[in-house]
Structure 1
Amino acid sequence: MEHLINNRVKNIEISGIRKFFNMVADVKDMVSLTIGQPDFPTPEHVKEAGKKAIDDNITTYTHNAGLIQLREAAADFYRKKYNVDYSSEHEAIITVGASEAIDITFRTILEEGCEVIIPGPVYPGYEPIIKLCGAIPVYADIRNTQFRMTAELIDSLITDKTRCIVLPYPSNPTGISLNEEELKEIAQLLKDREIFVLADEIYSELVYEQQHVSIAQFMKEKTIVINGLSKSHSMTGWRIGMLFAPEYLAKHILKVHQYNVTCATSISQMAALEALTAGIDDALPMKQEYASRRDYVFNRLQSMGLDVIKPDGAFYFFVKIPASNISSFDFCMELVNEAKLAVVPGSAFSELGEGYFRLSYAYSTDTLKEGLDRLESYLRK
């Protein structure tokens, strides 16, 4: 009876990142630099808050939008960190990770045939949901702009069908962020246009030389901000995301969220409350360590003669493959088979990622050294 399955579901694929990770996971003696998951444990005080929630029987449904004290903490976090003021009661929703926040946003604002502009190469979690909504992803080629999404690029792709622009920064897979001037230019471009911006800021606490700036500072009424605790507090498995949007929009997104999941888990919400209050700066020591790893990896990659742009944030390098006559998938399979090293083919990040591979440095220095030694040895051959 497979012919009865929704064709849109049949026509999307499992994430290329996960497909490749699963393919090599059981290979003996493999060094994997594939997954974008912090290698730090969740902070102890946050774990204790989760345990206490269980002991205190905080194990029931919460408000659909999340515990009010958590929404207050989330709004306070954005006010203190990024100078954007949201109403905790009407403009903040606690979601099941940032992934659910992306899903419910698109399902709220997209309709059949409308277009969404996305930078490419890009995290593969946007296109499938856009297509499931019957909308059309339109890729902005950022390979010739140092992986930066510019107002000029966006302007060249806007049509009367454009409904939304996705701004993920710092970016997965490139690690590139956007600065205040660039964001102001995009906001100015969209000032008189009825186009939403989905700002995926999940890596906002992992920006190195500059301070993260949210585009919501300049166009809050058109912006849906998505964030969460997976990267900032090493809480990937707790599945807590944060969505901020103006009230006229948030009230509709909340309906989709309610019918989708009812609410985020109460136990994780209590841990998140601890993370956003007592642990508001928990990301700082992690960020310092990531910055050190970034510099080490950058120097190693440069010494190998590889074409690579130094990232502003997150924990990825997007590296150009030196051989032009091999696909990114075949290159990565050669690394697996000949060097016992796993990285992610650039093709996992749209067709515009072909010719590159992504390397995650969310691993210990020892693991990075061994992986880079294997890469260097392979390239010498």
Structure 2
Amino acid sequence: MATEQYTFQGWMGLDKESAKGNMVWQEFPKDTIKPFDEADVDIQVSHAGICGSDLHTLSAGWGPTAYPCCVGHEIVGKAVRVGSKVEKGIKVGDRVGVGAQNASCQNQKGDCEECQNGLENHCMNATNTFADKYPGGGTSYGGYSDYHRATSHFVFKIPEKIASEDAAPMLCGGITLYSPLKDNGCGPGKKVGIIGVGGLGHFGVLFAKALGADKVVGISRKAEKKADVLKLGADEYISTDEDPDWAQHHARSLDLIVCTVSNSKMPLMDYLSLLKVKGTFVQVGAPEDKLPDLTAFAFIAKGVTLKGSMIGPPAQIEEMLDFVVEKDIKPMIELFPMEKANDAIKRFNTGQMRYRITLVNEKHT
């Protein structure tokens, strides 16, 4: 399909109010679209997941946003244009996906230490899938749209056995939990806690159980999620609002904790008390201001490790997709038509969705 036969257009955030469900459907400014490179793939978008990062960007919560922007970095669709230098066996007509990262210096010279060691997600010259600039010119526009252009190193063929509506949120939400669990030894012999069992955390429960952890504990504020979390595979559930002594009751009980909470008022000191001696705490949630204060003794006394994790490199995303097929992992998804994206944002803002939202571009399905 030639470029002239389709239009790059989508739901655009024009100001901070767009985060409240006030995006506008319009064409992307033509002079800002990334020039097609022979290592690129154009994707006809059929599905796009909604991620908390989309809202942080639309509201300029993490810093100034260059409006207008089109968010969405959990993209699945059909390859409609494939450059002559594209590898991975991607062909026109293949079902493919893109996550939160669209490029790194690997697409240029690949000369940074991170890219050379397969850690492209930590590249200093990485390009986010939306609201960012490409080194060679052009703006990245996301997946709340009809078409998306991506550098092929960050495009993945979607296995046949994964439904598109399930695959989309795995490309950011899924890898954000799979990566720290896999990198920190989640498996037999480990007791693992997932703090914040929402859109991200529910993937953590699914993956921790599938990786073979001896015990998986879901930790959230409200007791209302308990039935869902146990259904997802957790062995135990802690409601921090319902049990005033939860930190004491469960002290030194977990080897590994992954925290998805993005709240500067979360009880971080109490969370750390749940770790065993030499345990590991991995933060993946990103508050818009800062993490809560903590004392040095929170980690000195037990020799615990505090770490962070951000998505995952391309090779690990492909590994995750294969693992999902092997273990037949099925996330909990709500579907909205692409034309109702503003309604979906409003639903997301209520915090009541269970547990991810995928937009369906019905004209492309």
Q: TM-score, normalised by structure 1?
A: 0.33
Larger relative contact order (C-alpha < 8 A, sep ≥ 6)? 1
> Which structure: greater strand fraction?
2
Instruction: Give the TM-score normalised by the residue count of structure 2.
Output: 0.34
